[in-house]
Structures are given as C-alpha cells and as structure tokens.
Amino acid sequence: MERPKGIINDLSVRQEFDSGYALVAVDGKPVDRPGHGEATTAPPFAWVEAGEHKLTLQPKLPDSKDPTLQKEVTISAKIEPYKKYRFDKQNGSVTLVEDF
C-alpha cells in the first residue's frame, strides 16, 4: 500500500518566489519525480512521503554567480500528506513553506 505524499514545487516557481535551489535528495535517496507517462503535462515537482525528512538542495544553476547560494544545503522538514510546498530563502536560510 502506497503512503500518502506531499508535493514540492521546486523547479517551476515564479521568479519572485524562487529560492534558487532544486531538491536533489530525500533522506539521501533520489527524488521521486513524475516520469514519462505520468503527469507529463504537470510542471516539474517532487513527490515526498508524508513525515519528517532530510531534504538536500543544490543550486538550480550550478554556475550561478549568486554569492548567497551554497553549493549544497540540507534542511529538516515535516511533509504533510496532500499538501503542496516550495522552498523559500530568507536572510540566507532556506526553509520549506506551503505553496499557494
């Protein structure tokens, strides 16, 4: 039986809300994203099982000249089932927030 999941929109966030980071791992494992034949008309996002997780992020553009972006960031976050999230960067820290 599949566990409920939340959705993290990390790749198609409007520019004014974009953190500059993409999700690259959940608890050290590859990110579960829609593939061919699954939700192919939906914007790129990640499915993450509900619960507490360690989320590893890297800059979307590896050659970014933005000095505020770290090479890799790991944050702890609680994912609620069926909720949609995005990353937010404030005062140099990245957090997971509910998306709208």
Total number of domains in the chain: 1
pLDDT mean over 82-91: 92
The pLDDT confidence band at residue 98, using thresholds 50, 70 and 90, is very high
pLDDT mean over 21-40: 81
Asked if residue 2 has pLDDT above 90, the reply is no
12-26, 54-68, 74-88: which has the highest mean pLDDT?
74-88
pLDDT at 42: 55
Reading across the β-sheet that carries 84-90, which strands appear in turn? 46-49, 5-8, 84-90, 93-98
pLDDT mean over 79-93: 92
For 26-39, letters b (16+ CB in 10 Å) and e give: beeeebeeeeeeee
Q: Which domain holds residue 32?
A: 5-98
